[in-house]
Amino acid sequence: MKIQVRLFARYREATGSERLELEMPEGGTVEAAWRATVARFPALEPYRPYTLFAVGTDYVSADRALCAGEELCLFPPVSGGAGRMHAPEDGHPWTT
Amino acid sequence: MDDLIELTERPLSETALARTVDDPGAGAIALFSGVVRDQTGGRRVKFLEYEAHAPMAVAKMREIAAALRERWPDLRRVTIVHRVGRLEIGESSVMIAVSSPHRRHAFEACQYAIDTLKETVPIWKKEHFEDGEVWVGLQSACDHRH
């Protein structure tokens, strides 16, 4: 299946790309899409612990299965206050 | 009454924003404005750039407004507006206005809204300095100095 990946802010600048298309096996996860993206853009690798994932208008966890045609967004930490740079526990956002 | 939630490239005005939460039942209006500062850690800031995932940012701001109404059911009106694009020193990047019958809930709701917004709304800030630029979030490893 094909999925779209969209990069924001520093990730877009670090790779020089805003969007890419990935070919993945059916049922491939967010984590698998991340790895495929890193294979194409090794500059992203160190950012894994800090990355948030979203599909549509919601955050998703790394083990979520993707569907054909979905757009996966890779987010650097949002611009919130200093001192909030801890990585999210399970790849999930900093919601309470 | 619908909450006013918006992402905009236009300058924000305190006066205009306060007016959006006018309500005859309100005894208090609290307004928070986040403003572009002229320095970060001693480095002189020239200007800032904000980038958003617009549809998701708006959805997350709506969720915040809904959370406010759940926690403080007596709130009258809620407005949350964030600016994107290039911002100069002294300009406001985000404004939140809340009206309520009494001041305490207006203050509390306003603070909760900005704290939550900073953590959940997909908006990124890039600081442009005299000698380089940096996306706020991860430091050192990602500092793009020229």
pLDDT one-digit tens code per residue, B73-114: 999 999 999 999 999 999 999 999 999 999 999 999 999 999
Cβ contact, residue pair A73, B53, below 8 Å: yes
Q: Where are the alpha helices (DSSP H) in B75-127?
A: 103-120
Please give the tally of structural domains in chain B. 1
Per-domain residue ranges of chain A: 2-75
Domain span at residue B20 reads: 4-142
- A79 interfaces chain B, CB cutoff of 8 Å: yes
In this prediction, residue A44 carries a pLDDT of 95
Decide if A48 touches B, using CB distance below 8 A. Answer: no
Interatomic CA distance for residues A92 and B5, integer angstroms: 25
Look at the domain A2-75 and name its fold: Ubiquitin-like (UB roll) (3.10.20)
From residue B104, give the alpha-carbon distance in Å to each of A35, B27, B30, B134. Answer: 48, 10, 9, 38
Q: Verify whether the Cβ–Cβ distance A80 to B53 is below 8 Å.
A: no
From chain A, the residues in CB contact with B138 under 8 A are 10, 47, 50, 76-77, 85
Nearest to B128 by CA among B12, B49, B70: B49
The predicted model scores a pTM of 0.88
Mutate to test the interface with B, among A44, A55, A72, A79 (most CBs of B within 10 A): A79
Residue-wise pLDDT tens for chain B (146 aa)?
Answer: 689 999 999 999 999 999 999 999 999 999 999 999 999 888 999 999 999 999 999 999 999 999 999 999 999 999 999 999 999 999 999 999 999 999 999 999 999 999 999 999 999 999 999 889 989 865 544 444 43
Q: Which residues of B touch A58 (CB under 8 A)?
A: 56, 59
Name the residue in chain A with its Cα closest to that of B62: A57
Q: Identify the CATH number of the domain in which residue B38 sits.
A: 3.90.1170.40
Under-50 pLDDT residues of chain A: 81-96
